[in-house]
Amino acid sequence: MKDQYIISLDQGTTSSRALLINSKGKIVGIEQEEFEQIFPEPGWVEHDPTEILRTQLEVLDRLLQKNKVTPSEIKAIGITNQRETTVVWDRHSGKPVYNAIVWQDTRTSAICEDLKNRGLSEHIRNRTGLVIDSYFSATKIKWILDHVESAREKAEKGDLLFGTVDSWLIWNMTKGKIHATDYSNASRTMLFDIVKLRWDDRIAEELRIPVKMLPEVRPSIADFGSFDIQGEKIPVWGVAGDQQAALFGQGCFKKGTAKNTYGTGCFMLMNTGEDPQFSDHGLLTTIAWGINGKVYYALEGSVFIAGAAIQWLRDGLQIIESVEESEELAKKVTGENPVYVVPAFAGLGAPYWDMYARGAIFGLTRDTGKNHIARATLESLAYQTKDIIRAMQNDSGTKLMNLRVDGGACANNFLMQFQADILNTEVLRPENIESTAMGAAFMAGIGVGMWTQESVSSNKKMERIFTPVLRKAKRKELYKGWKKAVKRTKNWYEES
């Protein structure tokens, strides 16, 4: 008897991926394609939505062809996506009215300042669990409506649709039949009431965003229509933003369990159960997922630039030819590294929330070389994670016993060891670090009855555990230097 499969579509910030997962929860095939990053002005980051769609469908097609899988063998499709990235398109032609404005984009900082000056910070925090920041979708929608000719007029007539990337994919895959998103993605727009589970009319009104252009919001495990592959209708049954999908993929189903994903950004989430927990330390309250008629929440800390900093070593500074080479260079530094890199290329996220911070390198001397800069860049990921964990522990009142990790950069042994050292806690790396894609796959599989949450939990096996070895005094000294470096990057753009 032929095996049945789940397909996970993992639409990320720098690439589109498709994974084939068998009934035992094992990955049997992966296809990936990078797409263009567009930087029209400093601080602006865009993607071509049609290229996102094209690359996502192409990798899916290649996946099936290379693995000789027929559509009848596919049980369901799960989708996970870069969050907050904003697409606005014409409901009639299906064409985007503007490029997708990426989550890293800071062009709407002035709009955010205006919202703060109008006294909306408390309302937005209480309703959405978020801070006012250009990171989220709401101000990006407003910018498009304000700057694209006749866009607002069309939106008010009901001719334009907004969606995060999951909605854009679903709308196209269902040939315009389904305009929907899930609770986790909706909770990242800065427009969604995470307690009442509906779009907030006041925020939409303040930003002059017609509610009719917003997608229907469904649980993360729900029917999102079907995708026709060679005449076979494949149901889409699991949808979640990438970080919530990773939390699910790591099996963090219990209150108090946490994970950190090292992707383009770096994201720490802790499951807080069925009650939203609002932060006093700069963290976000977000919806983890909706499942079985219940909604689960999480505390989240976001580092905007993580793996992207390693890509910067490769593409910007050109001191490495591959991201893997960063580990080799870091290990060549003997003794202490006096250099700190603060990769605030898109401002600083939690717990600082400084849109005006900019990246910097500190501690340069005449003998500083590319090895020191590579090592300091890797160390910056670990320092930023420590910033968030300190805030999370203060909010939750519990000490982190260990840290589960996933994402591409967690394959870097130097980084994981330094992470364990600077946190003074064990870092657990699973055999399968594709937690984001697996989270979407597990959701879809549970939705169609292939798996249960219990079977997902029992499927997690650790590949390596990193144990801290750094002395307490040295750990404190290194972290003190990091805090000093961060302080000097803050408000840089505003002051200039």
Residues 442 and 478 in one domain: yes
CA dihedral 147, 152, 154, 159 (to 10 degrees): 100
d(CA 486, CA 126) in angstroms, rounded, equals 28
Let me know: does 437 contact 17? Beta carbons within 8 Å: yes
Let me know: does 82 contact 165? Beta carbons within 8 Å: yes
Let me know: does 120 contact 103? Beta carbons within 8 Å: no
Residue 246 covered by a domain: no
The three-state DSSP-derived secondary structure of the chain is CCCCEEEEEEECCCEEEEEEECCCCCEEEEEEEECCCECCCCCCCEECHHHHHHHHHHHHHHHHHHCCCCHHHEEEEEEEECCCCEEEEECCCCCECCCEECCCCCCCHHHHHHHHHCCCHHHHHHHHCCCCCCCCHHHHHHHHHHHCCCHHHHHHHCCEEEECHHHHHHHHHCCCCCCEEEHHHHCCCCCEECCCCEECHHHHHHCCCCHHHCCEEECCECCCCEEEECCEEEEEEEEEEHHHHHHHHCCCCCCCCEEEEECCCEEEEEEEECCCCCCCCCCEEEEEEEECCEEEEEEEEEECCCHHHHHHHHHHCCCCCCCCHHHHHHHCCCCCCCCEEECCECEECCCCCECCCCCEEECCCCCCCHHHHHHHHHHHHHHHHHHHHHHHHHHHCCCCCEEEEECHHHHCHHHHHHHHHHHCCEEEEECCCCHHHHHHHHHHHHHCCCCCHHHHHCCCCEEEEECCCCCHHHHHHHHHHHHHHHHHHCCHHHHC
Q: Which residues are annotated as a binding site for ADP?
A: 13, 17, 264, 307, 408, 412
Residues 120 and 198 in one domain: yes
Residues 284 and 195 in one domain: no
374 CB-side CA count, 13 A: 24
- Domain termination residue (choose one: 221, 241, 261): 241
Residues 222 and 282 in one domain: no
Q: Which of 417, 433, 342, 336 lies closest to 387 in space, CA to CA?
A: 342
pLDDT value of residue 1: 58
Tokens of 270: 């802790």
The CATH number of the domain where 201 resides is what?
A: 3.30.420.40
Residue 433 covered by a domain: yes
Report the domain count for the chain.
Answer: 2
Residues 156 and 294 in one domain: no
Residue 188 covered by a domain: yes
pLDDT value of residue 494: 65
Residues 465 and 378 in one domain: yes
- In terms of Cβ atoms closer than 10 Å to its own Cβ (0-12, 13-18, 19+), residue 275 is exposed
pLDDT value of residue 353: 81
Residues 10 and 84 in one domain: yes
Give me Rg for the CA atoms of the chain. Answer: 22
User: Which residue type sits at 138?
Assistant: A
Residue 486 covered by a domain: yes
- Domain termination residue (choose one: 199, 216, 241): 241
Q: Which of 31, 29, 44 lies closest to 99 in space, CA to CA?
A: 44
Q: Which residues are annotated as a binding site for sn-glycerol 3-phosphate?
A: 13, 83-84, 135, 242
Let me know: does 296 contact 254? Beta carbons within 8 Å: no
Let me know: does 346 contact 102? Beta carbons within 8 Å: no
Residues 16 and 93 in one domain: yes
- Domain termination residue (choose one: 241, 262, 287): 241
Let me know: does 290 contact 221? Beta carbons within 8 Å: yes
In tens digits, the chain (496 residues) has pLDDT values of: 578 999 999 999 999 999 999 999 999 999 999 999 999 998 899 999 999 999 999 999 999 999 999 999 999 999 999 999 999 999 999 999 999 999 989 999 999 999 999 999 999 999 999 999 998 999 999 999 999 999 999 999 999 999 999 999 999 999 999 999 999 999 999 999 999 999 999 999 999 999 999 999 999 999 999 999 989 999 999 999 999 999 999 888 888 788 998 888 888 998 888 988 888 888 899 999 999 899 999 999 888 888 899 999 999 999 999 888 999 999 999 888 889 999 999 888 888 888 899 999 999 999 999 999 999 999 999 999 999 988 888 887 777 778 889 888 888 999 999 999 999 999 999 888 788 899 999 999 999 999 988 888 777 788 999 999 999 999 999 999 999 999 999 998 864 4
Let me know: does 85 contact 47? Beta carbons within 8 Å: yes
Residue 490 covered by a domain: yes
Q: Which residues are annotated as a binding site for ATP?
A: 13-15, 264, 307, 311, 408
d(CA 484, CA 241) in angstroms, rounded, equals 33
User: Which residue type sits at 79?
Assistant: I
Q: Which residues are annotated as a binding site?
A: 13-15, 17, 83-84, 135, 242-243, 264, 307, 311, 408, 412
d(CA 128, CA 273) in angstroms, rounded, equals 17
Tokens of 190: 């800065």
Q: Which residues are annotated as a binding site for glycerol?
A: 83-84, 135, 242-243
Residues 471 and 412 in one domain: yes
Residue 67 covered by a domain: yes
Residues 143 and 224 in one domain: yes
Residues 338 and 191 in one domain: no
Residue 190 covered by a domain: yes
Residues 191 and 300 in one domain: no
Residue 175 lies in domain: 5-241
Instruction: Give, in degrees to the nearest 5, the angle at Cα 2 between 443 and 75.
Output: 25
pLDDT value of residue 495: 47
Residue 439 covered by a domain: yes
Instruction: Give, in degrees to the nearest 5, the angle at Cα 80 between 79 and 85.
Output: 120
pLDDT value of residue 234: 95
Backbone torsions φ then ψ of 92, nearest 5 degrees: -90, -50
